[in-house]
Amino acid sequence: MNHAVGAAPGGAGATLPEPGHGPAPSREALPDFTGVDLDDLLPRVSHPALAAVLPGLAARSRRPGEAAAYHEDAPDMRAVD
C-alpha cells in the first residue's frame, strides 16, 4: 500500500513507499553551523522561507537560554510571497 501525500507534477498523486522499503537513513553527520553569524547572514538571504524564520533564529542565538524553537513559534508562511 502506498500513502498519498499530495499532488505531483502532472496531477498524479505522489506516494510514499511502504514502511521499511525506502532508502536507509544516512549515517553521515550533519554539518556543524554553530559558528555561522546569523546577523551577518540576514541581509544576504533571498529565499522567502529562510528570510521569514532567520530573524527569530538570530534573536534566539543571542539568548542561549531561549534557544529552543517550538512549532507555535513558526511564522505564518501563508503571508510569504
pLDDT for res 68 = 66
Q: What is the pLDDT of residue 25?
A: 77
Distance CA 9, CA 41 (A): 33
- Give pLDDT, residue 69: 64
Query: What pLDDT sits at residue 5?
Result: 44
Tens of pLDDT, residue by residue, the chain (81 residues): 444 444 444 445 566 667 766 777 788 888 888 888 989 999 999 999 999 989 988 888 888 776 666 767 676 767 655
Is the CB of residue 49 less than 8 Å from the CB of residue 80? yes
Please give the pLDDT value at position 61: 81
